[in-house]
Structure 1
Amino acid sequence: MIEIELGLEDVARTRFAISPLWEVVASIRVLKGVDAHGLHRTWADRARQQLAAEVDLSPLFDLVPVPTGSAHSGRIPGFICPPPTTPLPSLDMELATVRATPSALLHTTAEVPPARMAALRADPTAELGRLADAIEMYWELALAPYWSRILTLLEGDIRYRAGRLVEGGAQHLFADLDPQVTWAGGTLHVAHRTAHGARQLAGRGLLLVPSAFVWPRVFSVLTEPWLPSLRYPPRAVGTLWQARPATVSDALAGVLGRSRATLLTELTAPVSTTDLARRTGLTPGGVSQHLTALRTAGLVSAHRAGREVLYARTRAGEIVVEAASTGSPPSTAPA
């Protein structure tokens, strides 16, 4: 059990952030088998197909170990996914931090191949560049097509948590954060398999990072020089990959036209032009033209996965569909 002592300054500096880079690392743990309940099986099956091409992701995968039973089992090197310093950094921003990692921080007690760590220490600039390139490649193949859906879930949790904070302060905020986290007398108790003892934040505050792929764990970062952080499962994570009914809103059709509204509504998960044509009854040529228009408007994005191009709703597309179905736009997630 870890006991995180929060002083008044720490409580005042408690804030939220979302980290695309952490989702990369946490999702690789899922692909390596840390998903006994099959929560992410739908995504994992698709991602493995998209990653089946002959691409070398070993500079990344070597640094993401999974539990094996030892005391250091499952630990992740801090330098591969430092906590974000802004509420919603882009992946490029986080990778710039990785590329600039000081050589003094290239050490870990995690169970990673010694040869990989030796290479990093021998030529930090080149090896960190290869690591960042591998992360970018993995992101494009495995996560970018699904990011709008994931981001919607994470932002929804932050809105909920911010409401809890407003309603009842820090105690209310932490009361239902996760069963492994409890709040009592100004101290946050976090269950941990091997670490224990008190930790003081010294006025640095606590960064709360909802993570789609972290369940059922809670990951803590409490060592210098990283920002003190808790990475926790968001509410309703079990619904992330559930199929959603594609009911076309008359209001949306009135603005975009029936065909484009149908296509935007159908994009509940990344899909190819051929599949969209089969689902909707539109011709492949017509689907392509409409997707081009939606993409130009910023409502749809395209991602190459092997020989296919998959289309997905952007965050703007998600907001438009939700607003048309409910009659009001969703509130933005506070930081």
Structure 2
Amino acid sequence: MLDLAFSVRDLARTRFTLSPLWEVVASVRVLKHPAEHPLHRPWSVEAGRRLAASGLDWRLLADLVPDPPGSIPIFLAPPPAGPAADLDSELAVLRATPAEQVRSGLGAPRAPRSERVDRLRGDPRRGLAELADLIASYWEIALAPHWPRMRSLLEGDVLHRARLFAEHGADRLLGDLGSVVTWDDGTLRVGHHYVHGSRRLGGRGLLLVPSVFVWPRVFSVVSPNWQPTLRYPPRGVAALWERQVTVPQALAAVVGRSRARLLADLDTPASTTELARRTGITPGGVSQHLTALRAAGLVDAHRSGRYVLYVRTEAAEVLLAAADGRRDGAQAPPSPRSPPR
């Protein structure tokens, strides 16, 4: 068990961000042992085939993500400094990692070991340039086709937790980060297999990073020279790769099938582009339907960086629940008959 002790200043400095580079690292764990990650099987099967067909030699990346109890070097995916990292900016940071930091990370007791890792340790400048190029190629093959969907899920999770904070405060926010994380009296307790003890955040706050590929675990950074970080699974990740959306026919008869499909599909926040991809409706058509649904009070919109995410309102939840009741066999009340004349 890892205990993270918060001060008032730590609470004030706790924030969220996304990290495409960390998703690369975490996805490598899944590809190395796909049988241990059945939730991601649709992705791992496709990504494995695409990587094999490309001929990309990604063994260095696989070596740097060792099997437990090995430790992933922090410099491989350092905590992002900004609120919304992108892969190019993270790779720029990776390329500029000081040589002594690379050697220190690869010299730790549980650091990965291989001939390829030894070459990186011996010539960090050249090795980091090659590693960054390798990661960029891996990303384009294995993750870029899925990133819009992944990003929508991750940003939707941040939006959900921002609502928790706004409505219920920091206690609810920090107490809702997963089954192995609990919050009690100023301390965040994280169920770790290999990291134990108590750490003070030292006024730096905690960086919260939702991550698709960590489920069902959490990963942390608590080393003194790095921003304290917790990578946790986002809500809704179980439905990421295999979406089976049922459109309630009773609701479709009232608002139209396209609008009913959009409401059913908004079980997690999504952008216009993502909804168009999911539903097959043109982006222009999605935009028109969302405008109408928003005017009717069934959809809200929230900006997240450069994107606008749409979410169902409570009124829409009530409509969907009522329509589900009809679909599951609830009988509609008999229609009144006209009185005899």
Shorter-chain TM band: 0.7 to 0.9
Letter in 1 for 2:189: H
Identity percentage of aligned residues: 46
Which amino acid letter does the alignment assign opposite residue 140 of structure 1? E
- 1:63-74 aligned within 5 A: 63-67=64-68, 73-74=69-70
| Partner of residue 122, structure 2 | 122
- Deviation, 1:267, is 3.2
- The CA deviation at 1:156 is 0.8
Residue aligned with 2:42, SS: helix
Map of 1:3 onto structure 2? 3
Give the aligned residue type for 1:249. Answer: S
Return the alpha-carbon distance in structure 2 between the equivalents of residues 4 and 102 of structure 1: 28
Q: CA deviation at 1:112?
A: 1.9
Matched, 1:152 2:161: no
- Offset from partner CA, 1:21-46 (integer Å, 9 cap, x none): 00001111111115525101111111
Aligned-pair CA distance for 1:74: 4.3
1:51 matched residue in structure 2: 51
Q: Deviations over 1:49-99 (max 9, x none)?
A: 1101211212222211123xxxxx142111100011111111000000000
**Greater helix content:** 2
- What 5-or-longer segments of structure 1 have no aligned partner? 68-72, 253-262, 270-275, 281-293, 300-316
1:332 aligns with one of 293, 303, 323? 303
**Following superposition of structure 1 onto structure 2, how do residues 174-185 of structure 1 map, counting pairs within 5 Å?**
174-185=174-185
1:249 and 2:258 matched: yes
Give the alignment partner of residue 268 of structure 1, picking from 272, 275, 278: 278
1:333, distance to aligned residue in structure 2 (A): 3.5
- C-alpha contact (below 8 Å) 1:83/1:229 kept by paired residues: yes
SS at the partner of 2:220?
strand
How many residues end up aligned between the 2 structures? 277
TM-score scaled by structure 1?
A: 0.75
2:164 pairs with 1:168 = no
Which structure ranks higher in relative contact order (CA pairs < 8 Å, sequence separation ≥ 6)? 1
What pairs with 1:166-205 in structure 2 (closer than 5 Å)? 166-205=166-205
Q: 1:242 to 1:326 in 2, by over 3 A?
A: farther
Write the distance in 2 (CA, Å) between the matches of 1:194 and 1:318: 50
Match in the other structure for 2:32: 32
How big is the shift at 1:332? 2.4
The structure that has the greater radius of gyration is 2
Q: Is the alpha carbon distance of 1:200 and 1:322 closer, same or farther for their aligned partners in structure 2, counting shifts above 3 Å?
A: farther
Deviation at 1:323, TM superposition (A): 3.2
Q: Is the 8 A contact 2:259 2:289 kept in 1?
A: no
Does residue 81 (structure 1) correspond to residue 48 (structure 2)? The answer is no
Cα distance, 1:133 vs structure 2: 0.4
After TM superposition, the structure 1 = structure 2 runs for residues 202-221 of structure 1, keeping only pairs within 5 Å, are 202-221=202-221
State whether structure 2 residue 319 is matched by structure 1 residue 323: no
SS of match in other structure, 2:303: coil
1:104 lines up with 2:90 in the alignment: no
Give the AA of the match of 2:206. L
